[in-house]
């Protein structure tokens, strides 16, 4: 089966510009996650969707970050305006059922963002 | 609260020798524990997971881990390292009642010396 797809793979922007990342989860997976992975750290959850509803966005910096999953399939994460500290790898993951604590999450290759 | 501590940020082993990557967890409830591997410029791949069944869990590529509740540990082992094992390894804890979130450790970078 096809894995989690993400694009673009790399992005370089200047601070205060906007950027958007796209994710297409594994077919049939109801739960979708966006993570931020800063160099030298483990991934940190930004937002979790179940179908097209938000389950948890408590760690999403809502003044500059937004995300949507309108049809319950693919998702877009946007940053506007970007700051230097947003330089990181943005990972998308999906899981098949309700996103329960025992479920495996399947990760995409990530988008590496550099903010200059 | 949930948290994971990976005790070594970097481990070096010679090819053909055993691998031990250490992980301690903290969880208020019975946890699920995972090990993921991340090769350069690749996504995270699941190696194995513990979900309250057998405490010794076998994963892909010859890796295994043992859940020890008394020691709050979930160390990853492999009897014989291969060059292709060189990568970043993440220990992850998840627990019911905490939004089912994954809490990642800071990672252990494994180097395999030929």
Handedness of CA A58, A39, A5, B101 (dihedral sign): negative
- Residues in chain B with pLDDT values less than 70: 97-100
Residue B40's pLDDT is 85
C-alpha span between A64 and A81 (Å, rounded): 6
Q: Do A55 and B99 touch (CB under 8 A)?
A: yes
Residue B75's pLDDT is 97
Nearest residue on chain B to A35, alpha-carbon basis: B102
Residue B97's pLDDT is 63
- Residues in chain A with pLDDT values less than 50: none
Picking from B95, B106, B107, the nearest residue to A101 by CB comes out as B95
Residue B42's pLDDT is 82
Picking from A23, A32, A42 by the largest number of B CB atoms within 10 A of its own CB, the best residue to mutate is A42
Q: Do B42 and A42 touch (CB under 8 A)?
A: no
Distance from A39 to chain B by nearest Cα, in Å? 10
Neighbouring C-alpha atoms within 13 Å toward the C-beta of B26: 7
B9-39 confidence digits (pLDDT tens): 999 999 999 999 999 999 878 889 999 999 9
Cα–Cα–Cα angle for B46, A39, B85, rounded to 5 degrees: 40
Residue A72's pLDDT is 84
Q: Do B99 and A108 touch (CB under 8 A)?
A: no
CA-to-CA separations, A109 to A2, A103, B18, B39, in angstroms, rounded: 13, 19, 29, 10
Residue A70's pLDDT is 81
C-alpha span between A3 and A105 (Å, rounded): 11
Picking from A37, A39, A102, A106 by the largest number of B CB atoms within 10 A of its own CB, the best residue to mutate is A102
Range A62-66 contact pairs with CB under 8 angstroms and sequence separation of 24 or more: none
- A96 within 8 A of A30, measured Cβ to Cβ: yes
Residue B99's pLDDT is 58
In degrees and rounded to multiples of 5, residue A108 shows phi and psi of -80, 180
Residue B28's pLDDT is 76
């Amino acid at each position: 089966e096809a894995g989690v797809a993400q694009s673009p793979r790399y992005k370089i922007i200047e601070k205060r510009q906007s950027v958007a990342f796209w994710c297409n989860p594994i077919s049939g997976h109801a739960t979708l996650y966006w993570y931020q992975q800063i160099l030298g750290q483990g991934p940190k959850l930004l937002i979790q969707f179940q179908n097209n509803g938000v389950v948890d966005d408590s760690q999403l910096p809502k003044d500059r970050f937004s995300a949507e999953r309108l049809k319950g399939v693919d998702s877009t994460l946007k940053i506007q305006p970007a700051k230097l500290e947003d330089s990181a790898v943005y990972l998308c993951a999906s899981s098949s059922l309700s996103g329960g604590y025992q479920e495996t999450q399947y990760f995409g290759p990530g988008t590496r963002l550099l903010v200059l | 609260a949930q948290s994971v501590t990976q005790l070594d940020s970097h481990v070096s082993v010679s090819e053909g020798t055993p691998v031990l990557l250490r992980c301690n967890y903290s969880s208020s409830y019975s946890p699920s524990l995972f090990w993921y591997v991340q090769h350069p410029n690749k996504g995270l791949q699941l190696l194995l997971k513990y979900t309250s069944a057998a405490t010794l869990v076998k994963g892909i590529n010859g890796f295994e881990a043992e859940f020890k509740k008394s020691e709050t540990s979930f160390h990853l082992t492999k009897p014989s390292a291969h060059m292709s094992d060189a990568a970043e390894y993440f220990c992850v804890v998840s627990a019911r009642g905490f939004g089912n979130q994954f809490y990642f450790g800071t990672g252990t970078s494994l180097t395999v010396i030929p």
